[in-house]
Amino acid sequence: MGRAEKDPPRHGAEPPPELADIDVLTVLQALSDPVRLEIVRQLAGCPDSAGGLACGHIELPVTKSTATHHFKTLMAAGITHEREEGTRKFVSLRRCELDERFPGLVDLVVGKSRS
């Protein structure tokens, strides 16, 4: 039947929100979970230079379905960006935008504070 849509990702990938549209509370809530904090840390301190880390390469103490949930939460909060490549997915920190919108936040989370 009529395929009106042109090329939507088969899996429900919602449009990445503008960072300006995101309030602090949402970001804080997203970061207030140990697993998600761990994700952000791995994303921040890695050779993400290219296009982020593959989800499967991020080691987490939870199952895959739970990890999916957390990835979704992070992206909905505007913290991460996702890129699909075949059956694999790459997640990356929206570092520049975060640093501009919320100066110091990423450094804080990553643990760049203290001497």
Partner DNA sequence: ATTCTCGTACGATCCTTGTCAAACAATTTC
Partner DNA sequence: GAAATTGTTTGACAAGGATCGTACGAGAAT
- Could you list the residues that contact a copy of itself (CB under 8 A)? 20, 24-25, 28-29, 31-32, 34, 37, 101-105, 107-109, 111, 113-114
**37 lines the binding site for DNA (CB under 7 A):** no
- Binding of residue 52 to DNA (CB under 7 A): no
- CA dist 70 and 114 (Å) reads 28
From the CB of 52, what's the least distance to DNA, in Å? 10
The rounded radius of gyration (Å) of the Cα atoms in the chain is: 15
Q: At what angle do helices 24-31 and 34-44 cross, to 10 degrees?
A: 100
> Per CB under 7 A, which region of 17-25, 44-52, 60-68, 104-112 contacts DNA?
60-68
Report the helix count and the strand count for the chain, using DSSP H and E.
5, 3
